[in-house]
Chains A and B, each alone.
Chain A
Amino acid sequence: MSEQEDFEQRLSRLAGATDALRPSAGFSARVMLAIDAQAAPTFFETTWLSARRLLPVAAIAAAMAVVWAVQVDGAVDDTLAASYASVELE
């Protein structure tokens, strides 16, 4: 019997002897629990997702606030200019 045959025979014997290996009891349930734990979003993820959905609304509100501020500023300037140019008569 050659050395190479010894080598392959030993691998073959150990393959046969370990063929009966199987997962421990409850392995499948533990896997599904691990998957559920990974799938459930964390508090940070939930908050971030909610905040991301509100982002377009917040952007539109910010743009409208800028427009309103510019308009109000213009109206105040007109009022002040009118009051400087006027002459009070008594």
Chain B
Amino acid sequence: MDILEKAVDRVLGGDRSAFQQIVDLTSQKLVRLGARIMGNQADAEDVVQEAYVKAYRALTAGEFDRRSSTNTWLYRIVVNGAIDAKRSRTRRAEASDEQIDPGWDGAARAEARLALAELDDWLRALPADQRAALVLQSMEGLNNSEIAQVMGVSEGAVEQRLVRARATLRQKREQS
């Protein structure tokens, strides 16, 4: 059993501090996933924070049945939260430089921000669920079966979303 699953065991056993370990182990990839779907880091952090609160509540209420891995389960909460937020929320201002981890290299940060802005501009035409499916496949490296598990839909529905997303982007490219 890996460190993450052991930390989940400890939270299930009533050790609240073990949840901090879950956050430390997973927050980087969850914030990155959230940012790719939301299009900016500030909104992504809001979504991921809400996802962790939901996850903690579910763990302490005994609602996590462990039929999927903890990673997949957390991905699912973040993706669902991001899709809902994307449909309802207006874009927030980016976090100021003072809030950014000082350990993070400035050039890499600037490059990542530029890339995120380009990605957001490019994928803006897509509905939130299609955008999420495309990000999970082409940027997170998940296969259709894993995406179906994360999004709680059939593999056929995933395939349909991906085909539509690509068609929309191709159409957008031809128009420009």
Taking Cβ atoms with an 8 Å cutoff, the residues of A that contact B are 3, 7-8, 10-15, 17-28, 30-32, 34-35, 38-39
The listed residue (B27, B119, B134) touching A27 by CB distance below 8 A is: B27
By a beta-carbon cutoff of 8 Å, the part of chain B in contact with chain A is 16, 19-20, 23-24, 27-28, 31-32, 35-36, 41, 45, 48-49, 52-53, 56-57, 60, 95, 99-102, 104-105, 108-109, 111-112, 114-116, 118-119, 122, 134, 138-139, 166, 169-170, 173
Question: What is the number of contacts between chain A and chain B, taking CB atoms within 8 Å?
Answer: 99
Residue of chain B at shortest CB distance from A11? B138
The prevalent SS among residues of B at the interface is helix
| Chain A contact surface mostly | helix
Which residue in A10, A15, A22, A38 is a CB contact (below 8 Å) of B31?
Answer: A22
- Specify the chain B residue showing the minimal Cβ separation from A10: B122
B95→A32 contact, CB < 8 A? no
B95 touches A34 (CB 8 A): no
